[in-house]
Amino acid sequence: MAQGYSAIAGVDEVGRGPLAGPVCAAAVVLDIHNIPDGLNDSKQLTAKKRDALFDQLMACADVSIAEATVREIEEINILRASHLAMVRAINGLSAPADFILIDGNQVPRGLNTPNQTIVKGDTRSLSIAAASIVAKVWRDRLMVDLAQQHPGYGWETNAGYPTPVHKKALQNLGVTPHHRRTFAPVHKILWQQNK
C-alpha cells in the first residue's frame, strides 16, 4: 500500500453541534480487496444508503466506534471531547493501525501513531468516508433510542441538533440528563430556571 503502510485507518467524528447526546467517532480500516461501492461523505448519502453501507462495513472492515459522554463534553469542551472519542475509536481497532487519516486539521492529543489530517477528508478519503458513515449511523440510532426515553424533543429526526422543535421542547419540557449544559441554548434555560 502507499508509503509501505499496511493498515491505514480513517477516523471521523459526528455530533459536535447537537445540544444533546454524546459525540461519537469511528475508526475504519478498509480491506483493499473488499471495499463497498458508494462510499462518500455521510452527509451526501440518503439514510437508507448509509444504513446499507454501515451493515457492509461492519461485515467487511475493521471497525471501531467510541464516544465521549455529555459529562466529558462539559468538562473538557466539545473539541477535546471529539478528539478523545477519536483516540478511543483508534485504540479500539482489533489490530493496531500503522497510519491514521484524520478528518479535519487537528491531530488529537495522545495520538502517537503516524498520521495525516485531511480537511474535508470525508470527500477525499474512502476510509474517512467509511468512518463518517459508521459514526453517523451509530449516533443517529443512539438518538432514536434516547428519543423513546425522552419524547417530545424530536431526537428521532433531529439527532439532538438545535432545530426549532428541539429548542421549543427545551423551553416547554426542560433539560434532560442528556443535554449538554455548557452549550448556550441549554445553559440559558438552566440560568432562567435558577433565577
Please report the domains of the chain, with CATH numbers, ordered by start residue. 2-150 (3.30.420.10)
Task: Divide the 195 residues of the chain into consecutive groups of 10 and give the mean pLDDT of each group.
Answer: 79 97 98 95 95 98 98 97 98 96 95 95 96 98 98 97 96 96 92 73
* Cα–Cα nearest to 146, from 136, 135, 158: 158
Question: What's residue 190's pLDDT?
Answer: 86
Question: What's residue 195's pLDDT?
Answer: 60
Question: What's residue 1's pLDDT?
Answer: 43
- CB contact at 8 A, 66 and 99: no
Question: What's residue 178's pLDDT?
Answer: 97
pTM, to two decimals: 0.94
Query: What one-character-per-residue DSSP string does 106-123 give?
Result: -PPTT--S-EEEETTHHH
Question: What's residue 145's pLDDT?
Answer: 98
How far is Cα 186 from Cα 121, in angstroms, rounded to an integer?
31
